[in-house]
Chains A and B, each alone.
Chain A
C-alpha cells in the first residue's frame, strides 16, 4: 500500500464520528434545561481543541492558553459594545485579534526549552490579566464588562434565556472549526508538525521549516482559543477577569488530558467528561470538585499518562481516528 493511500485512509470519516456529531446536533431538540451546560461544553471543547493543536500535535506546553481565550472574549465584548451588536462580525474580529496576539507571542514562546515556554506562556497570560485589571474604563476591571447586548443570530434568532440558540451557535462554530482542524492535521502541514514533536532535529534534517511551522500552528491555536472566548462572551453577554485566570488555563489543560492529547476528539471527549463531572461534583461543595480533580491529576501522573491513555485510546482509536 502506498504512503498516500495509507494517509488518506487515516483521514477517512468513520461511522462513530458521524454518530457523535449527529448526537451533538440532536441534543438541540432536547427539552429546555440542559442547553446552558451543553453550551459550556461546546465552548470548552473548542478551547481544548485549540490547546490540542499546539500540545498534542506540535508538542508545545502552555500554561497560559487563557491569554488567547480572554483576548477573544474581551475583543468580542468590546466590539459588541462599541461597534456593532452583530455576533458574526464580532466572532471574526475576536479570531483575528487573538490570532494577531498569538503570532506576536509565538516569537517569545518558540525560544528556549519546555521550562522557558511554561513560564513565558504563564507570564503572558498574567500580563494580560494585569492589563485587563488596570484598565477598568475599558474592561470594567474586577466588575467585569457589562452592558453587552448581543444582536440576533443570522438576524433572526435571539439569544434566549434557556440557551438553545447559544448552544446551536457554539456547536455550529465548533463543528466548522473542527472540520478545518481535521483537514489541517491530516494535511502534510499537520504531519510535519507531528514530525517536529517527535524529533525536531530529524524533522529539520528532512527539510521541515520547524520555526515557521510552529509559528503558524501557534497562531492558529490562538485563533481557535479566541473564537472560544468570543463564544463565551457573546452567549453569556458578560466578560469577567476570570477569562484570563490561571485556573482557566489549568482547566483546559486538564480537560484535554482527560480526553487524551494528539487526537482531535480528545479535546471534545475531555470537555464533556470535565463539565459533566464538574456539574455533578461541585453540586455538593466546590472544594470537592477541586480536590477530586487534583487527585485525578496526581494519580494520572503517577500511573503514567501513556500507560493509562493507551488502554482507553487503543479502544477508541479503532473507531475514531
Chain B
C-alpha cells in the first residue's frame, strides 16, 4: 500500500515536471499546445543519444536535455507559435497537431521506431527498505528532484519580479504592455522554460515511461489531464492534479488489471470536467 502510494507520488511528480510548461501555455496563456510532448521527447532523445553514443553520465545529461528543449522551444516560439496566440482554438489545434506529426515523422526517420532505453547509474538502481517500506532509489531521486523544481517554480512565480510580470502579462496583456512590461519576451522566456522542463521531464522519464517516436501522442492526454484537473490558478493546482493522477494511475493499474486500470484516469477526467469545467483547484475569474 505504502509502496503504491510512493510510486504514485514519484510518477505524479514526473508528470508535473512534464506538464507544468503546458499548465502555463494552456492554462494561463490560453494556447492549445498539443505539441507539448514533442519537447519532452526531444529531451528524452538528447539523453539517450548522449549516453549511448558519447557515454555522457546520466546526471550531466539532465541539464543538457533541459537546455536543448528550451532552445528548441525558444526558436519555435519566436518563429511559429507567437503568430498564433490570438487565433481561435481550432487553428491552434491544427497547428500543434501538425507539429506533433512532424516531430513523430522526423524522429522516426532519424532515430528509428524502436523503443529506447537507458542504463541508470548503479547508485540509482534497486530498492531499499526504509521504515518498513520498499522504496525504489530512482523514484526517491525523482521525488527529490521534481519536488525541488516544483518548489522553485512556485517561488519563482509568486516571489520574483519575473513571476509578477508573467502574471500581469497573462491577466491583461494590453495593460501590461502599457506599463512597459515586454510581454512578448516574457512569453518567449516562459515558453522556453516550460519546454525545457518538459525536456528535463522527458529525460527523467525514459526509465519510467519509455521512449519512442509516438511519445507525444501517447502522453498527450496525461498532460491535458494535469492541466484540466489542476485548473489555471497557478502552479499548485496542476501540482496536486499531477500527484492525484500519478496515484490514481498506479493504484488503478495495480488493483484492477493493467488494461482496465488504464481508463480509470480518463473517467476521472470526464467526471471532473463535467462537474467543474474550470478544474478542481480553480479560482473564480
Where the two chains meet, the residues of A that have a C-beta atom closer than 8 Å to any C-beta of B are 55, 61, 63, 108, 111-116, 118-120, 122-124, 126-127, 130-131, 133-134, 246-247, 250, 253-254, 257, 285, 287-291, 293-298, 300-302, 304-305
Contacts and interface: CB of A to CB of B under 8 A. Distances in A.
B49 interface: no
Interface in B229-283: 257, 259-260, 262-263, 266-267, 269-270, 273-274, 277
B284 interface: no
B102 A295 contact: yes
Contacts of A287: 105-106, 108-109
B131 interface: no
Given A63-B93, A118-B93, A304-B91, A294 B217 contact: no
A298 B100 CA distance: 10
B102 A134 contact: no
A302 B94 CA distance: 10
A179 to B, nearest CB: 28
B53 interface: no
B144 interface: no
18 contacts: A111-B273, A112-B277, A119-B224, A123-B270, A130-B262, A130-B263, A134-B260, A289-B105, A290-B104, A291-B106, A297-B98, A298-B98, A300-B98, A301-B84, A301-B91, A302-B84, A304-B87, A305-B91
Given A297-B95, A301-B92, 15 more contacts: A61-B89, A108-B273, A108-B274, A111-B273, A114-B89, A120-B270, A123-B266, A123-B273, A289-B105, A290-B104, A293-B101, A295-B102, A298-B95, A298-B99, A302-B84
A302 B83 contact: yes
Nearest to B104: A290
Given A115-B89, A116-B277, A134-B260, A122 B224 contact: yes
Interface of B: 26, 32, 80, 83-84, 87-95, 97-106, 108-109, 217, 220-221, 224-225, 228, 257, 259-260, 262-263, 266-267, 269-270, 273-274, 277
Given A127-B266, A130-B266, A301-B98, A120 B93 contact: no
B98 A295 contact: yes
Contact of B263 (A116, A134, A301): A134
A305 B108 CA distance: 28
Contacts of A250: 97
A61 B257 CA distance: 33
A298 B270 contact: no
A305 to B, nearest CB: 6
Contacts of A293: 98, 101
A116 B273 contact: yes
Nearest to B271: A108
Contacts, number: 133
Contacts of A119: 224-225, 228, 269, 273
Contacts of B80: 298, 302
Given A122-B224, A124-B270, A127-B263, A246 B217 contact: yes
Nearest to A247: B217
B93 A61 contact: yes
Contacts of A122: 221, 224
A127 B103 CA distance: 26
A120 B94 contact: no
Nearest to A290: B105
Given A115-B32, A116-B277, A131 B263 contact: yes
Contacts of A305: 90-91, 94
B255 to A, nearest CB: 14
Contacts of B93: 61, 63, 118, 253
A297 B94 contact: yes
A294 B104 CA distance: 9
A113 B95 contact: no
A291 B101 contact: yes
Contact of A294 (B100, B259, B274): B100
A113 B228 CA distance: 12
B102 A126 contact: no
B105 A301 contact: no
Contacts of A302: 80, 83-84, 95
Nearest to A245: B217
Q: Which of B257, B273, B274 has the most CB of A within 10 A?
A: B273
B260 to A, nearest CB: 5
Contacts of A247: 217
Contact of A301 (B94, B106, B228): B94
A64 to B, nearest CB: 10
A279 to B, nearest CB: 17
A247 to B, nearest CB: 8
A13 B99 CA distance: 40
A240 to B, nearest CB: 16
